[in-house]
Amino acid sequence: MNSGDMLDWFLGVSMEDHSDADCLMVAISSHGDEYQYVDPERSNVTKREDLILTTDKAIFTRDLVDIFRDEHCHSLKGKPKIFLLQACRGTKLDDGVEILEEDMDVVDALDEPEYTVTPPPCFKDFCIVYATPPGHFAFRRPSEGSWFVKAFWDVVEKVDLSRVDFLRLVTQVIHQVAFSFQSSADDPRIDAKKQSGCIYSMLTKDVYFTPKQEAYELML
């Protein structure tokens, strides 16, 4: 899909009447990358933005999410907007760490260090679930698909969606990706690597996927 078609699709969905909907969920599976730039107000701070790659160019993830803000999509005002993003957010790889139960001494820095920040494209009633942390690669297996999508499907099949809050559900997904997957490749640069998902949430209520008829009966 090219950038124009993707933006047109998102805009089209945002202009639909969602009065009868309880929430919106959008899943994107694509190649991705990051864009970094120096903060014009703080020279020691580098900002990064996530990109979704299309067939002709990249689109800022923030721009896609922004389309569904309350002021742009009135029929979804006050309703949960959930985005599942399976895409790379850079090229870093996670070697994983051995979990140690001991305190480690640290030194407080006296000088302000250089650092990178990722402003999350998150607004009230939004939840964005990334397959991988900022700046990192997202793995997939040719035979099974992406780690994140497979883990999400495995968890969804096992739980009662009407009884498990969405944030608890995706926490289980992230746990499964982090502890059940490890890359295996002939190239030592990408062998034995790990991955962990990332949640940005500004939801103002718990989210349960209860069938409408069942939900109606519970209110009687």
Catalytic amino acids? 31, 88
- Tokens read off for 64: 């896609």
Contacts of 86 (CB under 8 A, 6+ apart): 27, 28, 29, 30, 131, 138, 146, 148, 149
Tell me if 151 sits within 8 A of 191, measured CB to CB. Answer: no
Nearest CA-CA partner of 34 in 60, 6, 5: 60
Name the residue type at position 149.
V
Tell me if 178 sits within 8 A of 194, measured CB to CB. Answer: yes
Helix (H, G, I), strand (E, B) or coil at 126: strand
Give the CA count within 13 Å in the CB-facing half-sphere of 36. Answer: 11
